[in-house]
Structure 1
């Protein structure tokens, strides 16, 4: 949340180990979303209503500028879940270091129709036109994921609505639901309680079964308290994702200081559990992103917050560099293991785009990427960047595009392929070919890519942020000054690097 000029990040944290368990609400604060100060945990198990766990939730700033946290408490060894609240102990403390859990908790207990062990992660509250507060809690019934709605006049006494805000069959338990308005007219964010004109709403859910997320864009019927996804939005596992890579349990908040909606997610691991224990830590927060509705109204667009640019250092540039099939060019002169790279690729013709196999329509994009990787020569593509590469390419993480002809239209695949990212050969190590399709007009025959490279993370934004992929990778050779960065083309159609700007990135201050 943003409160009195300070950003507060609360996150699930195990102070006793590298893997999940002993969860508390860790707390860090920042003035710019980039440099952070860690504080003592804000919430930890201490009461009868959260003795066995303090799980995820959200913050809401109430009228009178009063922040309140809603969170899921675990009350017994059977993992019975209830919804609790916490308030600051000292409102004059600019960092809100200490939080109180009043004795009238829990606020919400599951009724007989709810699975008490699948009932968690309350959302930021919003106020309806009737002056009543509303929140959602994630749950499931018979594999139907649902966002259960509760209403309250005073934020203390909550009543379950007769029906969920929304549900979807065969999606499994919904975790960390997020529901917020987006403007049809501009990129500015909207307060979660905004109920004016020219808006769509977004419902995002994290899928407990698959460990990835999807979202829909739709209409919020405020009279019936129902959310209706647009017909163009796939309401299920094949739906749009905020990020097609290592990204889970994300939440947005309205930044009233800069009138923007900010997205924060969790980059979960691609390493093994045993490796996590050896490292002593696991999981990081990717760079915060500004989020808005694309002009098409069909999807969201994301971009790293502008404050990230304060870490930019030495810059190198490249322009009008042609790459024929099989060619690559090394980007030198910056610290490529910790860099920000923006590039615009162009091509003269779409004529060499490969046909899109109709049988792929039933596959996830990452399945197609696994078959059509960066080394598989194509027509128009693959072309892009080879990040965190060793000198002789024994290991590298390619981020690239491939253009297919799909009947009378073109289909753009964006990949971030971790399969060659490390020489480690543990059988349990997860090295997927992450991928998503990019809904982009190729009239100008150009595709843009931005990649944030940070030693073990490659966070990429295709076509100005229409498709985003975060890869968690663990190179063994391409580390520190032994890392290399290349732009490449492995397609028959020549590619031109119109412009490439790359910067060495300084360390953020994290203490």
Structure 2
């Protein structure tokens, strides 16, 4: 549940520049820019209109890719009446808008349906865990399930009446305003599900609270958090997943393989509005994550991106055996400009992410499907550019190069 930031954060990674503009009217890629929308991108994901922020619950289901996202259906600025927007794709490039997956409708989410994740159960059924703000303005964790599992587009979702599943525990110093963004859950060796929720204490200790469940609907808080770090403030949008130490293939979140994996904990620090990750080990018996030597879960940790990038989320693509990363790119323009143009926010290119051979950093690259957006290649050989000279390039469009 990312906070809004309009400061100029800096330049993006080079990979963000490989193809510069984005998409979407039917949310399909297009090489033609709408002259009435000169700032709208040509290739990145955007809904047709209005405000968008955090990517939520990306997944592949029955051969269809799904991206959910924080969406304001009422306008181009952030709003407390946030819903889960929903779009589908067969290639992660061309997207079709679907109706919102769900909107505020229960006492447990009447003040907004905020960020969360999808978990695929062993029977193949997807389940969403998400943060709702209830009638008392407390952040609580809810569940939503598909109405028709035979529909590959998952166009309808329902909320069981047992919501909320998890509530903040004041006894442990958890403020009801700092309890949000559940991750994709994973299975333990004991057959119990685990999930973490971002939080912080009044003393600015950032932490991820751990919950366990046998049936995915009745959850109990663990006595210890999965990990914490003092003086780091609120940890938003956590992500926790295994990565292979032997290659670039992704690892399924509930994988029981231990000898050839490391674990990644990513958190979005609200005090800096950047995403930081550490690499380390996960003790399945004690349910504790320990960063490797040299990593600290604070603003000294490496970032996933050094530009406008926040609230990132990964998922395991079991079709192509890769882990894919999405991230929200927010606006630097003032709200009045966003209202005038009718939209705000986009998602970064989806990127494959894996562990470097050294085991000390994550590598990432735009997914191979992005290459389908490339047009005719323009090659120049033996051209010398003199200082102050001008050279015209034919065969490319400046807005889409």
Please indicate the TM-score interval, normalised by the length of the shorter structure. 0.7 to 0.9
Which residue does 2:210 correspond to in 1?
149
- Tell me by how many angstroms 1:335 deviates: 1.7
Select 2:182's aligned residue among 122, 126, 139.
122
In structure 2, the residue matched to 1:261 is 323
The one of 53, 66, 72 aligned to 1:8: 66
Match of 1:252 in 2: 314
**Long gaps (5+) in structure 2:** 1-58
Unaligned stretches of 5+ residues in structure 1: 340-511
| Equivalent of residue 143 in structure 2, options 68, 85, 96 | 85
Q: Distance in 1 between matches of 2:363 and 2:166?
A: 34
Q: What is the CA–CA distance in structure 2 between the aligned matches of 1:95 and 1:43, rounded to whole Å?
A: 14
Looking at structure 1, the residues matched to 177 and 118 of structure 2 have their Cα atoms a distance apart, in angstroms, of 22
Residue 280 of structure 1 deviates from its aligned partner by 1.7
1:311 and 2:373 matched: yes
Using structure 1 for the length normalisation, give the TM-score: 0.64
Give the structure 2 partner of residue 65 of structure 1.
124
Shift of 1:317: 2.2
1:240 maps onto 2:298 in alignment: no
Q: CA deviation at 1:79?
A: 2.5
Separation in structure 2 between the aligned mates of residue 62 and residue 168 of structure 1, nearest angstrom: 31
Judge conservation of contact 1:233–1:298 (CA < 8 Å) in 2.
Answer: no
Which residue does 2:219 correspond to in 1? 158
Provide the rounded CA distance (Å) in 1 between the counterparts of 2:383 and 2:261. Answer: 42
Correspondence for 1:135: 195
Q: Which residue of 1 aligns with 2:355?
A: 293
Q: State the shift of 1:321 in Å.
A: 6.3
Q: C-alpha offsets along residues 137-174 of structure 1, whole Å, 9 cap, x if unaligned?
A: 00001211111000111111111111111111221101
Which structure has the bigger radius of gyration?
1
1:46-445 alignment runs, 5 A limit: 46-76=105-135, 79-112=137-170, 113=172, 114-141=174-201, 142-196=203-257, 197-318=259-380, 332-339=394-401
Find the counterpart in structure 1 of residue 56 from structure 2.
none
SS, match of residue 313 in structure 1? coil
Per-residue deviation at 1:211? 1.4
Paired residues in the alignment total: 338
Q: Distance in 1 between matches of 2:114 and 2:210?
A: 19
- What is the distance in 2 between the residues matched to 1:217 and 1:329? 46
Contact 1:206–1:214 at 8 Å: present in 2 too?
A: yes
Moved over 2 A (4+): 232-235, 317-333
Q: Select the structure that is richer in strand.
A: 1
Over aligned residues, Cα RMSD in angstroms?
1.8
Q: Does 1:26 align with 2:85?
A: yes
Larger relative contact order (C-alpha < 8 A, sep ≥ 6)?
A: 2
- Report the CA distance shift for 1:155/1:286 in structure 2 as closer, same or farther (over 3 A): same
Distance 2:217 2:199 in 1: 21
**Per-residue deviation, 1:336:** 2.9
SS in structure 2 of the partner of residue 308 of structure 1: helix
Tell me the residue number matched to 2:22: none
